[in-house]
Amino acid sequence: ATPMALAVGAGEASRRGMLLRNAEAFQTLRAVRVALLDKTGTLTQGEPRVAVSRLEPEASAAALALEERSNHPLARAVTTFLRNAEGVSPVVGLEEVEETPGEGIGGVLKGRSWFVGRPLDSGKYRDLLDQGCTLVEVRRDGEVQGVLGVTDPLRTGSVEAVRRLEELGIRVVMATGDHPAVAERVARETGIREVHAGVHPGDKLDLVRRFQAGGERVLMVGDGLNDAGALKGADVGVAMGSGLDLALDSADLILVRGELAGLADAVLLSRKLVRVVA
């Protein structure tokens, strides 16, 4: 497209709540055939709330201390809940804190190692999975201390976004680090037919590359630490405006107001401008 068309595109995009960071990617957008969407914070509001707690006070206190160091949407839910939980007092002296994207966060407290995050074996929390809860397990020295069940409502516009992308001939695929039971529930609710669950952070990029290897132009939408690589590797990387800096920096296009339905508008705009003015 001409610089003129791109300037028009950028202006029009910004009126619709999108920040265009890369003009080349905007041209590519018209040819996108696959849209990979992250779940937590992208299809869902990413403002999850703890619905169920099966933690003793000691584990709660350790989990609170750890999650206060994390930016993950689940960490916000956990800290909000545990700060108000009965019998939970703040802990001091947390050391060696380390967060692993897509897994959780761990550290050492009074000589014992604690971890909060993805369960070792989620099968034993079947009842919580059936309720659509995302699971956050707490372990001490590798031994399970309990679990939190977290629910995260859909973003308004998710259903519409999926439908409109499919109407444009784009294959919509979910990629999430969460458990298949939770992923499938969100897929059902949004009308997504293809789901990749339990995807480790590096594997989101592999998924992007696998579709690209099939000759497809791939769009990736995400919000988190674990999405940055895939956003960079995709032909068009789109970040939710509420996402982490790392995701925003890796994106070609930012949905400033977090309105996922804007994606279809962006594709339409790209097709229109590139056809008419190029």
Q: Known catalytic residues? A: 38
Q: Which residues, listed in sequence order, are joined to residue 95 by a DSSP beta bridge?
A: 108
> Which is nearer to ligand ADP, 72 or 139 (by Cβ)?
72
Burial track 77-103 (b if 16+ CB lie within 10 A, e otherwise) = bbbebbeeeeebeebeebeebebebbe
**Of 39, 116, 50, 41, which is closest to residue 78 (Cα–Cα)?**
50
Rg, the chain, Cα only: 20
Q: Can residue 139 be called a binding residue for ligand ADP (CB under 6 A)? A: no
**Of 277, 278, 266, 229, which is closest to residue 250 (Cα–Cα)?**
229
Please give the residue whose beta carbon sits closest to ligand ADP in the complex: 177
> Which is nearer to ligand ADP, 242 or 270 (by Cβ)?
242
Q: Can residue 105 be called a binding residue for ligand ADP (CB under 6 A)? A: yes
> Which is nearer to ligand ADP, 171 or 196 (by Cβ)?
196
Q: Can residue 129 be called a binding residue for ligand ADP (CB under 6 A)? A: no
Distance between CA atoms of residues 79 and 124, nearest Å: 24
Binding-site size, ligand ADP (CB under 6 A) = 24
Q: How far is the CB of 30 from Mg ion (least distance, A)?
A: 26
Check: CB of residue 243 under 8 Å from CB of residue 256.
Answer: no
Site for ligand ADP in 203-232 (CB under 6 A): 224, 226
Q: Can residue 240 be called a binding residue for ligand ADP (CB under 6 A)? A: no
Residues in the chain: 278
Q: Can residue 176 be called a binding residue for ligand ADP (CB under 6 A)? A: yes
Q: Which value, to the nearest 10 degrees, does the dihedral of the CA atoms of residues 213, 219, 225, 226 take?
A: -40
Q: Which stretch binds ligand ADP (CB under 6 A): 25-33, 130-138, 188-196, 238-246?
A: 130-138
Distance between CA atoms of residues 61 and 168, nearest Å: 49
Q: Binding string, 2-41, against ligand ADP, x = CB under 6 A?
A: ------------------------------------xxxx
Binding stretches for ligand ADP (CB under 6 A): 38-41, 67, 70, 72, 74-75, 102-105, 116-118, 134-136, 176-178, 224, 226
